[in-house]
Amino acid sequence: MRIIKKTIKIQIMQFSSITINNSTFSGKNVSIINGVITIDGNVQTMPDEKIITISVVGNLESLSVGSCKELVVTGDAHRVDTQSGSVKCGNVTGNIKTLSGSVTCGNVTGDVETMSGSVNAQDIAGRVKTMSGSIRGKNN
């Protein structure tokens, strides 16, 4: 078994479930640091995968990940920071930043920024920026 070398830190607003590569966990605080997965202070095990997909059922307080194929949040997202990976979520109440990846979301009251990717949102009240991609929202 290879060990995941990426660093992922997640804080969920309420007790929710999170699925990482088809392994489902429940808790509020999730981190993967140097291949060690910790959920609410308890070390977990899961098979190593080169491609990481993350799914959160509930509202997401914060997530920081080097790279993932996709992050899906069924609720709202407050703060997301990824170097590579697309983000799909409900409303954005804080900031979402990705260097490479598209963002699809509900209403934006915070800021959304991607260097390489499109942003598709409902109402945009915050700042939305992309260097190479389109911005689509009801009010623009």
Q: How many domains does the chain have?
A: 1
* Residues 6 or more apart in contact with residue 33 via CB below 8 angstroms: 7, 8, 9
The answer to whether residue 140 is domain-embedded is no
The answer to whether residue 1 is domain-embedded is no
Q: Could you tell me the residue range of the domain that residue 131 belongs to? A: 8-135
The answer to whether residue 115 is domain-embedded is yes
The confidence score (pLDDT) of residue 10 equals 63
pLDDT in tens, 56-70: 888 888 888 878 889
Strand partners, 72: 55, 88
The confidence score (pLDDT) of residue 3 equals 40
The answer to whether residue 17 is domain-embedded is yes
Q: Out of 19-23, 30-34, 61-65, 110-114, which region has the weakest mean confidence (pLDDT)? A: 30-34
Q: In the predicted model, what is the mean pLDDT of the chain? A: 82
**Residue predicted with more confidence, 27 or 103:** 103
What amino acid occupies position 120?
N
Could you identify the residue written with the tokens 């623009």?
140
Check: pTM over 0.75? Answer yes or no. yes
Nearest residue to 63 via CA among 23, 95, 26: 95
pLDDT in tens, 103-120: 999 999 999 999 999 999
What is the C-alpha to C-alpha distance for residues 95 and 109, in angstroms, rounded to an integer? 9
The answer to whether residue 3 is domain-embedded is no
**In the chain, which ranges are continuous DSSP H helix?**
none
